[in-house]
Amino acid sequence: MKDLMALINFLKKEDYFYIQTHNFPDHDAVASAYGLQYLFKTYNLKSYLVYEGEIQRDSLRMMIKELGIDIKPIQEYDMKPTDKIIIVDGCKGNKNVTDLIGDEIAVIDHHQVSKPDDVKFADIRPNYGSCSTIIFSYYIMLKKEMPKEIATALLIGLNMDTSLLTRGVSEEDIGAYSYLYSLSNYRLVNSILRNYIQQKDLQFYKEAIENIKIENELAFCYFPEGCNQNLLGILGDFFLALKEVDFVVLCAKNENNINFSIRSENEKLNASQIIQIVLNGIGFGGGHSDMAGGIIKEAKLFDEDKIFKKFLETVNKFRMGEE
């Protein structure tokens, strides 16, 4: 509470500031930024919601449109070096958060990351299933009323990042869910949660089903013609539902990058640690114990067979307690 109020008082000196999500934002990132923006607005603070990359999912575009969320690509603003930035659902220094020209003063995140030394405020809670839950806690802490639109967005973010309360859920997430449910437009929440894939996505399901490799409860599939990062995550959850699978690795060549999406339902298999080990020296990765992501920025460094073998070896070591 003391640190949060110190941040609010610091921002009162600014005419405006930016709230930045991670690149290619998902529902939780946008909901968190939106909720934080409204909270600051109650203190007469002006902020702009920005991101690098693009909004990739139609269900997220629907959430933005229905709730009137004003979030834009950073390219639409003339950011200055002295402009202040708060990063939500991501962390300064991470490869999925572009280092913009402004001055990062705060980080609010729920991933397994190291606290940056050069920000005034850092609230990192890796035990939380969503960043939306952290923003919800601010409303409770500050005793602020929450409009239906904010509650709806945060509930969508919470549901999406915890896969409907089945992944990485804490007691705080359950408490937030119960509170938000009573305030939200749950018809809109249900509509967005149900309609998260499109007809054009079915070709990726077909390709994955035809090419998936399953060995020792590990499922692996590579999309050489590309697949966006959000859909990789959705497909990862799909394959994790298989009884014979407890760890999923999906990767795709997008331009000159190789993007990875990892899912784990075995507490011995820490997805964040495993992706970091596998990509050491050729790429970067991180996230949570049950879901993580990674990237190789030079496609020529990627060899499908070698990467599959490295994942198998690393996962097997974790199974046997050697890592």
Confidence of residue 322 (pLDDT cuts 50, 70, 90): confident
Would you give the distance in Å from CA 299 to the centre of its chain? 23
Judged by average pLDDT, the poorest of 15-24, 86-95, 139-148, 277-286 is: 86-95
- Asked whether the beta carbons of 29 and 90 are under 8 A apart, the reply is yes
Token digits of residue 10: 């610091």
Token digits of residue 26: 């998902």
CATH 3.10.310.40 fits domain 199-319: yes
Residue 58, CA distances (Å) to 164, 196, 197 in order: 19, 7, 8
Q: Does the structure show a pLDDT above 80 at 95?
A: no
**Percent with pLDDT over 70 in the chain:** 100
Spatial neighbors of 224 by CB under 8 A, at least 6 apart, are 252, 253
Position 118 scores a pLDDT of 87
With vertex at residue 29, the alpha carbon angle to CA 24 and CA 33, rounded to the nearest 5 degrees, is: 120
Q: Give the start-to-end residue ranges of the domains of the chain.
A: 2-194, 199-319
CATH of 2-194, one of 3.10.450.50, 3.40.50.1820, 3.90.1640.10, 3.40.50.180: 3.90.1640.10
Question: What's the CA gap between 249 and 213, in Å, rounded?
Answer: 10
Q: What is the pLDDT of residues 64-82, one digit of tens each?
A: 999 999 999 999 999 999 9
Spatial neighbors of 145 by CB under 8 A, at least 6 apart, are 139
Q: What is the pLDDT of residues 27-73, one digit of tens each?
A: 999 999 999 999 999 999 999 999 998 898 899 999 999 999 999 99
DSSP states along 127-194: TSS-HHHHHHHHHHHHT----HHHHHHHHHHHHHHTTTTTSS--HHHHHHHHHHHHHS-HHHHHHHHH
- pTM for this structure? 0.87
Higher pLDDT, 229 or 154: 154
